Chain A
Amino acid sequence: AQKITQTQPGMFVQEKEAVTLDCTYDTSDPSYGLFWYKQPSSGEMIFLIYQGSYDQQNATEGRYSLNFQKARKSANLVISASQLGDSAMYFCAMREGRGNAGNMLTFGGGTRLMVKP
Chain B
Amino acid sequence: DTGVSQDPRHKITKRGQNVTFRCDPISEHNRLYWYRQTLGQGPEFLTYFQNEAQLEKSRLLSDRFSAERPKGSFSTLEIQRTEQGDSAMYLCASSFWQGGGELFFGEGSRLTVL
A residues within 8 Å of B by Cβ?
4, 33, 35, 37, 42-47, 50, 52, 91, 93, 95, 99-100, 102-110
Contacts and interface: CB of A to CB of B under 8 A. Distances in A.
Contact of A109 (B41, B56, B104, B105): B41
Contacts of B106: 44
Interface of B: 31, 33, 40-45, 48, 50, 55-56, 89, 91, 93, 95, 97-108, 110
Given A43-B89, A104-B33, A95 B101 contact: yes
A100 B106 CA distance: 22
Nearest to A44: B107
Contacts of A104: 33, 45, 48, 56
Contacts of A102: 31, 48, 50, 55-56
